[in-house]
Amino acid sequence: MTRLNLEVQALHASHDPDLFKPAADPDEIAAFFTGVMEQANNELGILGSRGTPLGYIWFERQEKPENPFMHPVSRLYVYHIAVSAAARRQGAGAKLMRWAEERAQALGATAIALACVPANQDARRFYERLGFKTERIVLHKPV
């Protein structure tokens, strides 16, 4: 998983270097994901073939109660989806996302949400092919 994360982290950093670090220490990444796996609302799914990891997905189940302004929310929020360069465009990402949809249904969630940087048009097209729609646009201004 650490190797897969390093690949996708480099890609994210190339698209948005002000937000994403170019690389992290592999031991830090392993410790981070160990902590993630200990949190009750987080799940990691790993896709492999013949003992070789091809990709992973990390999501969190989010529950937000109704309030005077918004309806209740029950969703999975995808923080990471990473597919090795060798396995891209071969269905690995779609399999990971289908698994997340199955988990969402099993957990009673009604939606899956994720963020995508505007410069990553390949990822955006991938998500749109899977039925994702733009929900809102977040604006950012450094101060």
Closest CA to 134 of 115, 111, 119: 115
The mean pLDDT of 90-101, rounded to a whole number, is 95
| Residue 58 backbone phi and psi in degrees, to 5 | -125, 125
Residue-wise pLDDT for 27-82, tens only, equals: 988 899 899 889 999 999 999 888 888 999 999 999 999 999 999 999 999 999 99
Eight-state DSSP code of residue 87: G
Eight-state DSSP code of residue 59: E
Residue-wise pLDDT for 103-121, tens only, equals: 999 999 999 999 988 888 9
Return all residues near 1 (Cβ < 8 A) that are at least 6 apart.
29, 30, 33, 44, 46, 53, 56
Distances (CA, A) of 78 to 68, 86, 137: 27, 22, 17
User: Distance of alpha carbon 40 from its chain centroid, rounded?
Assistant: 17
| Contact (CB, 8 A) for 48 and 54 | yes
Report pLDDT for 69: 96
| Contact (CB, 8 A) for 30 and 70 | no
> Does residue 3 have a pLDDT over 90?
no
pLDDT band at 16 (very low <50, low <70, confident <90, very high): confident
